[in-house]
Amino acid sequence: MSRTAFPELRFWRRRHIPTLLQTEAAECGLACLCMVSSFWGHKIDLASIRRSFSVSLKGATLKGLMTMAEGLGLQTRALKLEMQHLPELKLPCILHWDLNHFVVLKKVSTRQAVVLDPAVGERTLVLEEFAKHFTGVALELTPSANFKKAEEVQKFTLLSLMGQVYGLKTSLLQILLLGLALQVCVLVAPFYMQWIVDEALLAADKDLVTVLAIGFLLLVFVQTAITSVRSWVTTVLATNLNFQWLGNAFAHLMRLPLPYFEKRHTGDIISRFGSIQTIQHSLTTQFVEGVIDGVMVLGTLIVMLLYSPQLTAVACVAVILYALLRWTIFRQLREATAEQIIHTAKQQTHFMESVRGVQSVRLFSRVEERRTGWMNNLTDQFNAELRVSRLSLTYQTANTLLFNTERVIVIWMAALAVLDTRFSIGMLFAFISYKDQFSTRLAALIDKLFELRMLKLHGERVADIVLTEAEYDEQTTEVAPESIEAHIEIKRLSFRYSDSEPLVIKALNLKIPVGQCIAITGPSGCGKTTLLKLLLGLLEPTEGEILVGGVPLKLLGLHNYRQLLGTVMQDDQLFAGSIADNICFFDPMPDQQKIINCAQQAAIYQEIAAMPMGFHTLVGDIGSGLSGGQRQRILLARALYKQPRLLVLDEATSHLDILNEKAVNAAIMQLDLTRIIVAHRPETIAMAQRVIVLEGGAVAEDVVKSNQGAEQSS
């Protein structure tokens, strides 16, 4: 590679490369594209770029990144280069990293390089360490003739994140009025010292001293009462808002499409719910306090100007300097906070995975490796927290230095005014009290304003849940679910997991009559489970449609359709509770006889009856305490409890011994319903009336069995 490097002339401020951390497990390429595109002027966030370009859990290839970049109006140049040619790259550019990752190269010198890693944030590496990760492949991105500067960032409001919350406005108004009443008491309090010094003491009037003491003592009682009532109303509001908001967010989360969960770590989703509580705290306390502080600042400023414009100017200069400092470090603080949140989520994910997978960790002697991995994640989290603490300490130190210096100067100038008889001693005490209130409250107001701006970061994380489009479930037909026959027709069905990946299901056509038992088989990776997920509405087809009883699935509605279904999938789980709870899936009004009948059909009744607590036997987390075969048969009993008209089983007997498998297969054969079974085991395939062999996402064989033998349909 060779290129003449010319210095860039920048007559205006330097363009900034934002640091974006990936949210989904395999979207490092998308995050890098967002960073480079934003640098050139097309500001785009991850939520917006996901809507335009889909990426599966397999991630993006370099070719896929180039296609996406061209869609953003960027021209691409892929390069294979040696380390000595790094300074000749057009920065920022994307680098292939560790053979499985993408990063952005921000800066390079003769000794070190700065990269923006979507997994951990900004990193500065010496070139020797850099060379261990860099694969030698780089992608330069520069604006093409079609490039347009734009801002494509997900917009949201606080109300759109909360959903329907009752009683919010009334409670906020109550807190605001109580706060204003409280501030009236605070505003009047400094006059006590002024009147005592200038009026009562100079006149040696003991009765006036007593009257003033009684009057202001009553003011203290009123202030205390208002403070208590306000604190209680704030607590009630915070609890009510938190309860309703978390409920709304969880309800929406449960309606999100399956790929949303497959692409995200559990710890990250939990972390997003933590952001809701952060926003709620700021709304119920900081927002109201900020409004009150604003009113108080205005009131104290007017009073201070009446006392002395010169002294007031000194206080205002200190506040302005503090505001400028907060504005200067805000961007760094925001990026550090974003890194801290994401590293905390990664640490929690690693922790939960280690706890859940402790059996495998022990058996493979990987305790030390898991501990080291968790400690590395914890180190990243603590380093990010230290960076936040360093920046926070900067403005806290500046606050102390600025306002203590300002206080000394104001007292000095006020004392000179007293000596020049322009101020009385009582006025000096009162002005200092008002000045302290002004400086403290205005500094607090500035802090709150920047904290509210910081809430956008938490808002973006919450928006990833509540603004993600829920699973499509709009019923547009008047057909009642109970009148729908379990007849399935698939027309030219195609599906791919992302735009850059090949089709997993290819123009597949299939008809499944009512009551038929079919087995779907084929080599691993041929699309069997994907086809089932499409049939169940867990994935949306790329092309084609699925009809149930002659009605397109979208018109029937997923909720109505799933009332007809009983399913056992490969990765289905049991929940903490009793065996009976799991069979009826925590039905609020369980039918005990139906639970027993379903257990008998699933060939698990005898084993449950032999347990000391029978159907009340507790199931541990994710089904621990039961064998694999017992879990599968309880899951089958759960599917049968629904009394479905369409039973879908994905390797539902893979853990069973031959005798139990025969018993389960015999029970399934006797069921008067449509059955679709994905299987590899010959015993299960043999009991099906029809066998469909998939290969490469298409039907390779379709064999219908008869009493005389098998007939090949296609």
Q: Is the pLDDT of residue 593 over 90?
A: yes
Q: Could you give phi then psi for residue 82, rounded to 5 degrees?
A: -95, 165
Token pair belonging to 96 = 């292939």
Fill in the amino acid letter for 100: N
Q: Give per-residue pLDDT as tens, 678-712.
A: 888 888 888 888 899 988 888 888 888 765 344 44
**What is the mean predicted confidence (pLDDT) over 652-664?**
79
Q: Is the pLDDT of residue 446 over 50?
A: yes
Question: pLDDT grade, residue 12 (50/70/90)?
Answer: very low
**What is the mean predicted confidence (pLDDT) over 242-264?**
84
**Distances, alpha carbon 117 to alpha carbons 2, 104, 112, 332, in Å:** 26, 7, 15, 16
Question: pLDDT grade, residue 204 (50/70/90)?
Answer: low
Rounded to whole angstroms, the Cα distance separating 607 from 397 reads 68
**What is the mean predicted confidence (pLDDT) over 466-491?**
74
**What is the mean predicted confidence (pLDDT) over 601-623?**
84
Going by the DSSP 8-state scheme, the letter that residue 586 receives in this structure is S
Residue 175 has a pLDDT of 67
Decide: helix, strand or coil at residue 620. coil
Percentage of residues of the chain with pLDDT beyond 70:
85
Percentage of residues of the chain with pLDDT beyond 90:
4
Instruction: Return the percent helix, strand and coil in the chain, to nearest 5.
Output: 55, 15, 25
- Name the strands in the sheet holding 74-80, side by side, starting at the edge strand that comes first in the sequence: 74-80, 134-143, 93-97, 101-108, 112-117, 121-126
Token pair belonging to 321 = 């300097």
Residue 592 has a pLDDT of 92
Residue 641 has a pLDDT of 92
Pairing of strands 674-678, 646-650: parallel
Q: Give me the residues paired with residue 495 across strands.
A: 505
Rounded to whole angstroms, the Cα distance separating 486 from 464 reads 36
Q: Is the pLDDT of residue 321 over 80?
A: yes
Q: Give per-residue pLDDT as tens, 142-194.
A: 888 888 888 877 777 777 777 777 776 776 677 667 666 766 666 666 655 55
Q: Give per-residue pLDDT as tens, 270-309.
A: 888 888 888 877 777 666 666 666 767 777 788 788 878 8
Mean pLDDT of the residues in the chain? 81
**What is the mean predicted confidence (pLDDT) over 235-243?**
77
Residue 580 has a pLDDT of 92
How far is residue 215 CA from its own chain's centroid? 54
Cis bond leading into 18, ω under 30°?
no
* Long-range Cβ contacts of 194-200 (<8 Å, 24+ apart): 194/424, 194/426, 194/427, 194/429, 194/430, 195/426, 196/426, 197/424, 197/425, 197/426, 197/429, 198/424, 198/425, 198/426, 198/427, 199/426
Decide: helix, strand or coil at residue 710. strand
Which range (38-47, 56-65, 518-527) has the least confidence?
56-65
Token pair belonging to 133 = 């990760």
Rounded to whole angstroms, the Cα distance separating 442 from 332 reads 23
Decide: helix, strand or coil at residue 695. strand
Q: Give per-residue pLDDT as tens, 327-336.
A: 888 888 888 8
Query: Which residues lie below 8 Å from residue 69, measured CB to CB, with a gap of 6+?
Result: 33, 36, 37, 75, 76, 139, 141
Decide if 28 is catalytic.
yes
Helix (H) / strand (E) containing 705:
strand 698-706
Residue 180 has a pLDDT of 67
Residue 430 has a pLDDT of 73
Q: What single string gives the DSSP state of each residue in 122-169? A: EEEEEHHHHHHHEEEEEEEEEE-TT---EEE-----HHHHH-S-TTHH
**What is the mean predicted confidence (pLDDT) over 324-349?**
85
Instruction: From 388, 328, 397, 516, select the one nearest 121 (Cα to Cα).
Output: 388
316-331: b (≥16 Cβ within 10 Å) or e: bebbeebbebbeebee
Q: Is the pLDDT of residue 13 over 50?
A: no
Q: Give me the residues paired with residue 628 across strands.
A: none
Q: Please give the radius of gyration of the chain, using alpha carbons only, rounded to the nearest integer.
A: 34
Pick the catalytic residue: 28, 93, 584, 598?
28
Residue 458 has a pLDDT of 82
The model carries a pTM of: 0.73
- Report the first-to-last Cα separation within the chain, whole angstroms: 55
Query: Which residues lie below 8 Å from residue 684, measured CB to CB, with a gap of 6+?
Result: 519, 653, 661, 665, 677
Residue 9 has a pLDDT of 40
Query: Which residues lie below 8 Å from residue 691, measured CB to CB, with a gap of 6+?
Result: 518, 519, 521, 685, 701, 702, 703, 705, 710
Residue 599 has a pLDDT of 92
Residue 189 has a pLDDT of 62
Instruction: From 587, 604, 700, select the one nearest 643 (Cα to Cα).
Output: 587
Rounded to whole angstroms, the Cα distance separating 152 from 146 reads 16
8 Å CB contact between 481 and 561? yes
Residue 556 has a pLDDT of 83
Q: Please state the length of the chain.
A: 714
**What is the mean predicted confidence (pLDDT) over 260-266?**
81
Residue 638 has a pLDDT of 92
Residue 207 has a pLDDT of 65
